[in-house]
Amino acid sequence: MTYHIAVDIGASSGRLILADVQDGKWQLQEIHRFKNGFTRVDQHDRWDIEELFHQILLGLEKAKELGVDNCTLGIDTWAVDYVLLKDGKALTQPIAYRDKRTEKAMEKVFQKLPAKNIYEKTGIQFLNFNTLFQYVSEDPQLLEEADTSLLIPDYLAYRLTGRQVAEVSNASTTQLLNIHHRDYDYDLLDLAGIKTSQLPDLVETGTYLGPLLRENFKDYKLPYVEVYAVATHDTASAVVGVPATSKDFAYISSGTWSLIGAELTSPIVTKESQEANYTNEWGAYQTYRFLKNITGMWTVQEIARCLDYQYSYAEMAEQASQVSPFEQYVNLNDERFTNPEQMIQEIQAYCRETGQKVPETVGELTMCVYSNLALIYGAEWKRLEKLTGKFFKALHIVGGGSNVALLNQLTANVIQKPVIAGPGEGTAIGNLLVQLISSGTFSNLREARAFLKEEISLKEFFPDFTMETDHLKNFQQNYYQ
């Protein structure tokens, strides 16, 4: 038997998933889960990076208690955020991408280099929290003091192994890599105010980083661990974990954000893809994640928080199922919903301002969100097919959102194609598959996905062709414009 551990950390929680592989089968077990979230420190929203690292070590202790003496490990997290270091030590807690410091950063950058030029260099969509704009918004004195900048998963792996690298699937999201020569772009580094000497070497997905330096953590009882740079961007790992055996497939990685796209072998960098704000993030094994970053479960998560978590997400969906869909048109991608002080009040204010029915109950609020998410998915589905020139037979949804049957059914109704849901832990599973490829269990990604398809159960949702309501038709027109 062999053991492999995926450390998968999202914006709201983290987990360690243990895979026990033997006789061509695997057993998966969540051995540790912990909360995550940013807090206001020194006038900025910041991540408690040291607590996250502590939780990784606690999870490894639990693995040891379960009898795991030797294992491989990979870490994936969200993208774009970074830790500034000097002499190997973090200077501050990293600032979260939802912090408001980058609100005007894009306009500032475009005065020096037009958006068209940046997109032609990088193929990356414009989001005001991309690392390029975060560096522009950084405290100049702090940036000057730092000798190294590491993205979040690379920093955590560095703490384990002592090796500083930038794994490409995450590094590409910084909007600092040139998609044509696959290296840092010097013009963009100058624009961002960051030196090449402050950035680590790029490494490909699956690179072996080294053993866990157990001597540095004598207060913990840890197994022997070999650490790999998996697809360290959680979306990249989620795409690896799509159980598709066909060459062309469309996916949504559904979590706090929704990432809708296709896996390509060459990027699409055109005027049309820029206008649609599609990105060409680098994927595992020389692929590209041609996708659009749109809103996701964040809105529902915030509604739950505003209600002091009186309802589970399953209970919220159950109450929503008692409400008619498509009663409101709410553009959830509007910046006003990015990080409002009170999400429920923001949604209700939007509906009042636009003369629409105001959702009041938890069921009405939840259905409002899910209906509009399905419409957004439908609009981007059509756009994705147009931009790629491909015809997709079904939509794969992986990640936590794949467990929301109501949303899956609404999405199938809108796109009029089957939705294949699962795995819910797609990101962790993709993380594990890279470890299995790197350690020799599988020879390539295609073989790993074929194994995955046999090992997991999936749910299919077929379109209800009777749901051609006037509300749906009207709102589809709004989104498809």
d(C-alpha 285, C-alpha 434), whole Å: 10
H/E stretch holding 400 reads none
Neighbours of 218 (CB within 10 A): 8
Closest CA to 19 of 437, 447, 333: 437
Is residue 154 a contact partner of residue 200, using CB atoms and an 8 Å limit?
yes
Is residue 455 a contact partner of residue 21, using CB atoms and an 8 Å limit?
no
d(C-alpha 213, C-alpha 227), whole Å: 10
The token pair at 272 is: 């049309």
Is residue 379 a contact partner of residue 233, using CB atoms and an 8 Å limit?
no
What sign does the CA torsion over 333, 336, 339, 345 have?
negative
Q: What is the dihedral of CA 249, 202, 10, 444, to 10 degrees?
A: 40
Closest CA to 17 of 448, 458, 430, 422: 430
Is residue 102 a contact partner of residue 135, using CB atoms and an 8 Å limit?
no
Q: Name the DSSP class of 93.
A: P
Q: Name the DSSP class of 175.
A: S
| Residue 429: half-sphere exposure toward Cβ, Cα within 13 Å | 26
Q: Is 234 a catalytic residue?
A: yes
d(C-alpha 451, C-alpha 433), whole Å: 10
Catalytic residue among 8, 81, 185, 234: 234
> Coil, helix or strand for 447?
helix
Q: Name the DSSP class of 257.
A: E
Is residue 431 a contact partner of residue 230, using CB atoms and an 8 Å limit?
yes
d(C-alpha 430, C-alpha 451), whole Å: 12
> Coil, helix or strand for 222?
coil
**Residues carrying an active site annotation:** 234
